[in-house]
Structure 1
Amino acid sequence: MKKIFTELSVLVCFCLLLLSDVAFAQNVTVKGTIKDDQNLPIPGISVLIKGTSNGVQTDATGNYSISVSGNGTLVFSSIGFQTQEIPVNNRTTLNVTLLSSSNDLQQVVVVGYGTQRKVDVTGSIGSVKGDDIAKQASANAVSSLQGKVAGVSITNAGSPGASPQISIRGTGTIYGNLGVLYVVDGVWFDDISFLNPADIESMSILKDASSQAIYGIRAANGVVLVTTFKGKNANPTITYNGTVGYRAVTNQIEMANATEYATIINELSAINSAPALFSNPASYGTGTNWYNQAFRNAFQTTHQLSINGGSEKSTYNLSLGYNNEDGIVKNQGYKRYTARFSNDIQVLKPLKIGYSVAASSVNTNDINGSIFRQLYAAGPVVPVYYADGTYGDANDFGLGGGNNFNPQVTLDYFNQKSKNYRVNGNVFAELNFAKHFTFKTSAGGDFGQNEVRGYTPVYSATQGQRSDNSSLTVNRSEDRNWILENTLTYKNTFGNHNLTVLAGQTAQRRKNYFINANALNVPYSSEGDLYLALGNAANRTVVDGGSLTTYVSYFGRANYSYKDKYLLNATLRADAASQFYSGGDLWGYFPSIGAGWVVTNEDFMKNQNIFDNLKIKASWGKVGNAGVPVNPTTLTVAQPAGYVVVFGGVAYTGANVNSLVPSFLNWERTAGTDVGFEASFLKNKLTLEAGFYNRKTEQAIFEIPILSSIGAASSKMIGNQADFRNRGIEVLATWSDRTSNGFKYSISGNIGINSNKVTSVITGLNPIYGGGQGIANGALATRTVQGGAIGEFFGYQVTGIFQTPAEVAASAQTSAKPGDFKYLDLDGNGVIDGKDRIVLGNPNPKYTFGFNTSFEYKNFDLAIDLQGVAGVDVYNANVAYRFGNENFSKDFYNNRWHGAGTSNTYPSAAVGSTSNAAPNSFFVQDGSYIRLRNIQLGYTLPVSLTNKWASKRVRVFADAQNAINIFGYKGFTPEIGYDASAGPISRGIDNNVYPLSAAYRLGLQVTF
């Protein structure tokens, strides 16, 4: 806490040092009252002197007072109202009536290669403002989208700086590149963890194929458009944002204490006909709580300084950011430095040029990937240290083998640091000519370098935790990407017709290079100077590789509206990707079409009093996925040392096909159909959006198993193997209002309902099994088959627990023991085998929902966000993943079978035995949850006070993220994604998952 208060005092001192008295030119003091069209006073209206950043806000009764030049102009603006500019003309009283924005449909949203009025959009696009993103205690902006947009599912990884997994309208693909496409100011990225959330002005999520089609080959899993802050034509504005706080583990799993552990281990020994390990379990007391030993309240702080300004000829924006987060596990840490600068220059009236450049540096102290497994398994009878200072050893208690380590040893001797550097940016020129034409050319680039250095010294801590040789591992990779785009836009209004036509061309090049090296017997250096060359040359290994892909694209789009009633949008994109240069279709063609009808603009709707706005829309489109490995149809051959043939007494090295590839690989395409409406009621206080979608992935690329007798080193082959679809409904409703006493509020709720189904598989009804990562005995716990969902859980149905030997003898499981699971004999043949397995659950969420609110009264503001999922299952692999005498959760201990009649739901301590650990319904649990995603309370100092200083606005706030979590799952968190190496067929399996944590912060925002 001392560290937190020290940081907070630094923030306050920083602000106070910058505050100073400032003299305002007092030519004329203008006073007045701002009211709405219902004659109600409006608090919080911004009153700015045009061409400057000097201004005030109206008080609770709508009154204001400002000093301005007699020939100046005042700008009155606020969200939800039409902006007005009024010349002063030496007046001292200026009362203003602001009109409400005609409707939410008139807002401008960011779409692919431009912007559109929301009323003109025929696709499905969700938008999130930068203010909502900045309110979240998340280093990655994608996490801030959780619960904000219907149909968008976010799974947070938990570890500081880790990128969350995002899916838009269900699982779009299961092989290769599974992520969405991020477009940041025109440059394409697979990840935006380098981006400071405070630099983001808005994010648009393109959800349907119609809006995504303009991005063709990379849009199959959705597109997120990110717009960063640009300069404004105003005097320089300096803004500082800072926070300080900590993260703490929530919903920590309670484990059996030492006495309980000794008791249940003795039971396990008896089941295995072995002598008891502990003669007096009660003598061990509570023992070691390994979670408490390793976890901590993790300090975090953020600082961001931005400068924004410009003139009619040139505008600029500069931002600097710093983020420092400790992990909830001791020794883990994350630091990120960011810098971003953009500059737009109006060279001539028809010509504008501009550029932006961003840089980031990330340093992390990593933790061992198995640490959570060790913390779960470690025996509480083992102390952290003995009295002489040496480490507690599980072997001293007869607990050697399996996963029973001393986690403190792992924390102390694991030494791995990661560094990531990235520089990206773009430059553009925009020329307006012939009145209706705009030509824009832009070039963007991205350079990144990542290095992971891990060192293991010579040490001997316990019998099972030691290293006789030191080793150094260095993994380094580089990415060099560029994109060149040219677009020509024609925009014209003639009579009742509005037409915009866009034509464009894109060329991209993506290059990756990596080198992985290892050396033994590298001497330790206290200075950290560790080099591979210092190790044993005979044991040094180096592996390098890389990839190069290129893309060429042509696209066009036409937007047409007639009398703002009838809307038409059509897109066509043609893409060529180098992955398909041989053995596939080089070119892919991705069309889309959308139509809309603004019903309220019809003459017959003018006298109705129900709808303020009503738009009906429908769309269809196709997008593609080029995210497959390079040269996927190229057959490769290796010469392993063991493949030798002798001719004439001379040994020759043989060759072996080490992979099987398809002779032809086609594009994976996603076709989607959308139908929906947008409406507002009660003078636009209530807005409602709803839609239905049907999204089908055609010729999906899968890995399918192949017979080992074929002789290939790989047991799988990729190919266009299946079709599957996601079908669902999305609803968003918002109520916004304000009262005469200055209370302003907004309440919004959204829900997405999705159903995932495999519609056909090239292998017929033969299933594709998966999900073996972290499952006991390597068993496969998921199945993907025609008619089912992707990666559904599959195994035996538990009907009870065997109570007595006689009950076992009379069953189909004669080799079982009392306390073992009793499985359903599905086919009734008296034998329990693979044919008795059934579908146990679905890891794909059926319902995702969010509830977001904001309240403002006088100088106070409050935001509360709730978020959750339902209709989803998770697989708790932690319970049965045991190879010896690992610990048990308190829940398992309290409910276990330990004698006839003690339990008919939980098995005995032998839950890790081969028969009990087989995938079954006991391990599949409800993964539904609801959480208080974020709550923030802020207070803005009165304008009368801040105007006496150089500052224009000072706001302090306190917030909490994930403070309340409600779920029935028996693990740390039901928010579980998929293993990156296996993809969505491994979704929802909890094995060594990073725990959920809550964040608590204090913050300061100052504008000068």
Structure 2
Amino acid sequence: MKKYILLLWICLLSVGLVHAQENITVQGTVTDAESGQPLIGAGVAVKGSTAGTQTDATGNFTISAPSNGTLVVDYLGYERTETPINGQTTLDIKLGTSAQQLEQVVVVGYGVQEARDVTGSIVSVEGEELVKQASQNPVSSLQGKVAGVTITNSGAPGASPQIRIRGAGSALGDTDPLYVVDGTFVDNLSFLNPADIASIEILKDASSAAIYGVRAANGVVLVTTKRGEAGKSTVNYNGFVGVQRVTNQLEMTNTQQYATMINEKTGSQTVDTSLPSTNWYDQVLRTAMIHNHQVSASGGSEKITYSASVGYLNQEGIIEGNEYERITARLQTDFQVSDAIKVGYNGIFYNYNSIDVPGDIFYQAFVAPPVIPVFKEGQRYGDSFDYNLGNFANPQASLDWYDQKSSGQQMTGNVFGELKFLENFTFRTSLGLNYSINEYRNYRSEDSLTSVQFASRSQLTKSRSKGSSWLWENTLNYDKTFGDHEVSALLGISSQEDKSELVAGSANDVAFESEANLYLSLGDPETYNIINSGDRFTFASYFGRVNYTYLDRYLLTATLRYDASSKFPREDRWEYFPSIGLGWRVTEESFMQDQTIFDNLKIRASWGKLGNDQIPTGIFILPVNSDPRLGYNYGGGFLPGRNLTETVPPTLLWEVVKETDLGAEMGFLNNRLSVVADWYNKVTEDAIFGFTPLGYFGLSGDILGNYASFRNRGFELAVNWADDVSTDISYNVGFNFSRNVNEVTAIETGNNVYYNGNLPVGGYQVSITRIGDPIGSFFGYEVEGIFQNEQEIESSPQPTANPGDFRFRDRNGDGVIDNNDRTIIGNPNPGFVYGINTGFRFKSFDLQLDIQGVADVDIYNGNRNVRYGNENYDLEYFENRWFGEGTSNTYPSANLNGRNLDPNDFYIESGDYIRIRNLQLGYNLPTDLVTKWKMQAFRVYINAQNPVTWFDYNGFSPEVGGAPVSQGIDRNVYPLSATYNFGVNVTF
């Protein structure tokens, strides 16, 4: 009998358990307990399971859960809330703000910190902001969003943008910031899909960046990729398809206009005005396709969380034949082994393939005369020699003949382990690995396309570069709160090794039978040209940081890093990099409690010392030329000879940056209005600088040393307003602005020594770096007008000029125009950078509008300046040229040669521009339809990126980058295009 009674109890218990675990559909709303406003994106999870969802644009959610289960709701800045279901199908959940007044958490070096406690200048950009743009590089998506950060984009598919934080602090060294992805140091972010990013933090000042020591002189960009969350299992697809179109296409002269110019120049009917006309830009440019797709999955439990994604991008260039293809894959897993032990890993794989185009194709299309046809009779390419115009390539022939493909792979990963012990201590060890391979092959066939585009022998060129690095770091954290004091301390040790190798070669007479049979060994052995080079350097570092808070209002951050690099001589490899930051949360003071102006007011000040080690390895070793021709015969035998080709000092050390930052953070009107302002003074000392010695030294290169000092001083302002008008309407408006002044403050080799830019334009050097002026300033003659007749020439310091030539200013009044009359004629360093970022939501619709711009910057129009004969002219030049007395006093005649090509301020143009960076309209499917279709969210959008740019520059694009000593020189850069796309973002 007892056995049957026990069996009956078991059956009843099983029925009860099954009944208790029956799932029901629960719908509800999550709102702010005080204002009643909906909380968008709040996490709603079933306690003890992996089921979870997020609230939609109206704060609503739908989830399947056991009738006797519990819902856990999380939202940043609010108390975590657990709500029993108790069989209810509708729940109204109200969240109160956290008792600890939690604010935004930002990532700092080797940890995280609440924004309220930060004493340095750090800006955080959420990953959601990045994916709202069609940019394929995450850095491009930052353009116009961060004060003090200047980004210059290239329109070439797969190209990495140039980024400078608070100006150029080096002349010859690297100016790129340090990129840190999940704790691993990388050179750029081209391998990373923007949709995989959770947040990007930019460490702008020395105090926040000093924890990275000798590698942080140009700022630090910290990237945190997405990680899985317990109880939130999601599968997401995010993709778009669109087209790219050229904007602001430069208008060139047609055949009739070109013939008029050339005939004026030669004084005869050199070119027939009735010849057909070719628009070479129309010929080589196209409307290009782009499509991008990513599938991701994330979730987990309290013990294991994961995040995985696969992405594919295919982007055509606006040049015919140009194409870029990228595949990315990422896998991340965290294991909570016990309450004290956590381990995990993160791996990112990247593969790209590119079909390339000639680097000078835009220049070819600019200079090619329009009288040259694309093809002539017999389908032969049009030839400039048929018209006696000189040596001009046929741009279409260049594209058809050019055969180059590039490819590469990169694997970036990180494994870590954490151990918590003695309540307040956390030990973390991590190993970051980075491995990459890049290859390209170029094949030039034996052919004769035009008189200047021919090859009597085929040539194959191939290269393969390989890079690898490992970074092992161990840190110990201590966190303790006692009374009115909060202390967080960090100690760490770091070791790193970087290695690279390049193998490149070429050979003639390789037959192109198939892509698989292109090998150098199949060519003529006598034409082999092989290069094999490599590099290896190591780092060792010790670092520490203390964060201290007293009474929740007085803040202190002190950092010290002790760095060594094998790039420098053994006796001079170590250096200290300290920093200190102070903060005062004024609104926490008792005397501020009754005021109603500020909701938040924090004043901060910081100072720090950073380093820049980006110089070639072993540069302090004297290079010796062992050419056998330097030997000589003596006593019947041959004695080898050697010669120094350049000189360097016995010690060439890292550049040192010392920076002071004063900042204020303010909140008004219930923190709907926030204002952040910074003033900084950033000084680069011991900057690497070179000057050319006298020729009789017998040295072919420059003398390099830590000779110079530079200063960047500026002001930054960021203003943001966000408001929820009602449950149906919300909006935000942000404005950021920065002003930077760059100046060379010292050159220790003498006041008269300066460095010319290393990008000659038409055989002329147009840039100079000297004391008192910005790095890479434009240097040349000032134009006072155009000579109108012979009488003006006779009474001028330019007796050999012709009517229609430039009339240069005789600055020293000696009656001669020579090098002594040259002066600074322009500044390529942007003075002002700004951005306006807005967002609007009305029910299920959302609209985003981003505007960015640059002001107080100059461009050297090298396109107009490089002329060797009968190059084409832009239409603006044609319409404003001098062609007789009184016709123009600003544009010269068609006879652009001789002194007219000397660097002068006619070629200096304003690089100011305003651009609609991004315009996006989105629609979120209503909750009832999302639930019906068993989804968590569904959004569609249309997007326009770079649709309109306003500028006065006579070129495709005013965005012209370059190295600090030769920046801002336009030699037909690959311009940005407008991208129009349609996208879908769906989460299951």
- How does the TM-score come out when normalised to structure 1? 0.93
2-structure distance, mates of 1:59, 1:794: 56
1:727 corresponds to which letter in structure 2?
R
1:391 aligns with one of 363, 381, 404: 381
Q: How does 1:422-437 map to 2 (within 5 A)?
A: 422-437=410-425
2:953 corresponds to which letter in structure 1?
Y
| C-alpha contact (below 8 Å) 2:786/2:807 kept by paired residues | yes
1:346 aligns with one of 336, 344, 353: 336
Match of 2:985 in 1: 1005
| C-alpha contact (below 8 Å) 1:746/1:854 kept by paired residues | yes
Shift of 1:516: 1.5
1:975 corresponds to which letter in structure 2?
E
2:128 aligns with one of 99, 121, 131: 131
Match of 1:161 in 2: 158
Match of 2:712 in 1: 726
State whether structure 2 residue 689 is matched by structure 1 residue 702.
yes
| C-alpha contact (below 8 Å) 2:30/2:55 kept by paired residues | no
1:993 aligns with one of 947, 965, 973: 973
Shift of 1:284: 2.3
Match of 1:14 in 2: none
Match of 2:892 in 1: 907
1-structure distance, mates of 2:414, 2:456: 51
Match of 1:748 in 2: 734
Query: CA 1:41–1:313 in structure 2 vs 1: closer, same or farther (change >3 Å)?
Result: closer
Match of 1:966 in 2: 950
Query: CA 1:527–1:224 in structure 2 vs 1: closer, same or farther (change >3 Å)?
Result: closer
| C-alpha contact (below 8 Å) 2:758/2:965 kept by paired residues | no
2:802 corresponds to which letter in structure 1?
K
Shift of 1:66: 5.6
Query: CA 1:172–1:806 in structure 2 vs 1: closer, same or farther (change >3 Å)?
Result: same
Match of 1:984 in 2: 964
State whether structure 2 residue 821 is matched by structure 1 residue 825.
no
Partner SS state of residue 915, structure 1:
helix
Give a deviation string over 1:650-683, Cα, whole Å, max 9, x none.
Answer: 5544221122111122221100001111110101
1:315 aligns with one of 305, 309, 314: 305
Query: CA 1:772–1:879 in structure 2 vs 1: closer, same or farther (change >3 Å)?
Result: farther
Partner SS state of residue 305, structure 2:
strand
State whether structure 2 residue 840 is matched by structure 1 residue 843.
no
Q: How does 1:206-225 map to 2 (within 5 A)?
A: 206-225=203-222
Partner SS state of residue 963, structure 1:
strand
2-structure distance, mates of 1:84, 1:914: 79
2:539 aligns with one of 551, 572, 575: 551
Shift of 1:766: 1.7
Query: CA 1:215–1:234 in structure 2 vs 1: closer, same or farther (change >3 Å)?
Result: same
Match of 2:608 in 1: 621
Match of 1:97 in 2: 94
Match of 2:167 in 1: 170
Query: CA 1:549–1:380 in structure 2 vs 1: closer, same or farther (change >3 Å)?
Result: same
Match of 1:975 in 2: 959
Partner SS state of residue 917, structure 2:
strand
State whether structure 2 residue 847 is matched by structure 1 residue 854.
no
2:925 corresponds to which letter in structure 1?
L
Query: CA 1:506–1:79 in structure 2 vs 1: closer, same or farther (change >3 Å)?
Result: closer
Shift of 1:971: 0.9
Partner SS state of residue 375, structure 1:
helix
Q: Using the TM superposition, name which of 765-774 and 535-544 deviates more.
A: 765-774
Shift of 1:101: 7.3
| C-alpha contact (below 8 Å) 1:258/1:284 kept by paired residues | yes
2-structure distance, mates of 1:106, 1:527: 57
2:229 corresponds to which letter in structure 1?
K
1-structure distance, mates of 2:197, 2:168: 27
1-structure distance, mates of 2:905, 2:808: 9
| C-alpha contact (below 8 Å) 2:717/2:738 kept by paired residues | yes
2:168 corresponds to which letter in structure 1?
T
Q: How does 1:308-387 map to 2 (within 5 A)?
A: 308-387=298-377
| C-alpha contact (below 8 Å) 2:78/2:102 kept by paired residues | no
Match of 1:184 in 2: 181
| C-alpha contact (below 8 Å) 1:80/1:100 kept by paired residues | yes
Q: How does 1:669-708 map to 2 (within 5 A)?
A: 669-708=656-695
Match of 1:6 in 2: none
1:836 corresponds to which letter in structure 2?
D
1:374 corresponds to which letter in structure 2?
Q
Partner SS state of residue 891, structure 1:
helix
Give a deviation string over 1:874-921, Cα, whole Å, max 9, x none.
Answer: 11011020111110000011111111111100001122x130111101
Shift of 1:26: 7.0
Match of 2:871 in 1: 886
2-structure distance, mates of 1:391, 1:64: 65
Query: CA 1:102–1:722 in structure 2 vs 1: closer, same or farther (change >3 Å)?
Result: farther
Match of 1:18 in 2: none
| C-alpha contact (below 8 Å) 1:633/1:663 kept by paired residues | yes
Give a deviation string over 1:802-854, Cα, whole Å, max 9, x none.
Answer: 01112111100001111110000001110001111111111111111010011
Shift of 1:137: 1.0
Match of 1:202 in 2: 199
| C-alpha contact (below 8 Å) 2:61/2:927 kept by paired residues | no
2-structure distance, mates of 1:432, 1:811: 83
1:473 aligns with one of 461, 464, 469: 461
1:611 aligns with one of 595, 598, 603: 598
Match of 2:428 in 1: 440
1-structure distance, mates of 2:519, 2:429: 45
Structure 2: which 5+ runs fail to align?
1-19
| C-alpha contact (below 8 Å) 2:918/2:946 kept by paired residues | yes
Match of 1:10 in 2: none
1:555 corresponds to which letter in structure 2?
F
Query: CA 1:64–1:244 in structure 2 vs 1: closer, same or farther (change >3 Å)?
Result: closer
Query: CA 1:385–1:676 in structure 2 vs 1: closer, same or farther (change >3 Å)?
Result: same
Shift of 1:872: 0.6
1-structure distance, mates of 2:805, 2:950: 31
Query: CA 1:166–1:742 in structure 2 vs 1: closer, same or farther (change >3 Å)?
Result: same
Match of 1:13 in 2: none
2-structure distance, mates of 1:133, 1:512: 32
Shift of 1:34: 4.8
1:436 corresponds to which letter in structure 2?
N
Give a deviation string over 1:60-94, Cα, whole Å, max 9, x none.
Answer: 5x666665433222344556765533222344554
Partner SS state of residue 106, structure 1:
coil
| C-alpha contact (below 8 Å) 2:584/2:604 kept by paired residues | yes
Match of 2:103 in 1: 106
Shift of 1:649: 5.4
1:930 aligns with one of 894, 902, 914: 914
1-structure distance, mates of 2:976, 2:253: 20
Shift of 1:247: 1.0
Give a deviation string over 1:895-950, Cα, whole Å, max 9, x none.
Answer: 11111111100001122x13011110100011111100011111111111121223
Which 4+ runs in 1 deviate beyond 6 A? 62-65, 101-105
Query: CA 1:152–1:609 in structure 2 vs 1: closer, same or farther (change >3 Å)?
Result: same
2-structure distance, mates of 1:590, 1:67: 55
2:710 corresponds to which letter in structure 1?
F
Query: CA 1:64–1:205 in structure 2 vs 1: closer, same or farther (change >3 Å)?
Result: closer
| C-alpha contact (below 8 Å) 2:28/2:62 kept by paired residues | yes
Shift of 1:475: 1.5
- How does the TM-score come out when normalised to structure 2? 0.95
Query: CA 1:236–1:96 in structure 2 vs 1: closer, same or farther (change >3 Å)?
Result: closer
Shift of 1:529: 2.1
- Quote the RMSD (CA, aligned, Å): 1.9
2-structure distance, mates of 1:945, 1:381: 61
1:935 corresponds to which letter in structure 2?
L
Partner SS state of residue 879, structure 1:
helix
2-structure distance, mates of 1:827, 1:373: 37
Q: Using the TM superposition, name which of 452-461 and 99-108 deviates more.
A: 99-108
Shift of 1:624: 0.4
